[in-house]
Amino acid sequence: MGLDIRIPLGLVFLIIGGIMALFGLYTHGDAALYQRSLGIDINLVWGGLMFAFGAIMFFLGKRHKAPEDAPDTHNSAPSARPRH
């Protein structure tokens, strides 16, 4: 279908998770900021988990996509008209 869904999904999680983890690292030890999340540096923890999930998705998608990039030898299905 041209776009393995795991690639955009992985990218979004890599970038958002990365931003959150970096922000968590930068603000690590700021007790006031993490008072709401029960004192846990939740940006670092959750951002890190999201980053790892994104990396797995992205690489799975890339690995699967590589063989598909070869020239397509199959005929695509004929276009279908609406069945009225």
Residues that bind other proteins (CB under 8 A): 1-3, 5, 8-9, 11-13, 15-16, 19-20, 23-24, 27, 33-34, 36-38, 40, 42-43, 46-47, 50, 77, 79-84
> For the purposes of burial, counting CB atoms within 10 Å of the CB of 13, is it exposed (0-12), middle (13-18) or buried (19 or more)?
buried
The C-alpha atoms of residue 7 and residue 60 are separated, in whole angstroms, by 8
Nearer to other proteins, 70 or 77 (CB): 77
**Shortest Å, Cβ 5 to other proteins:** 5
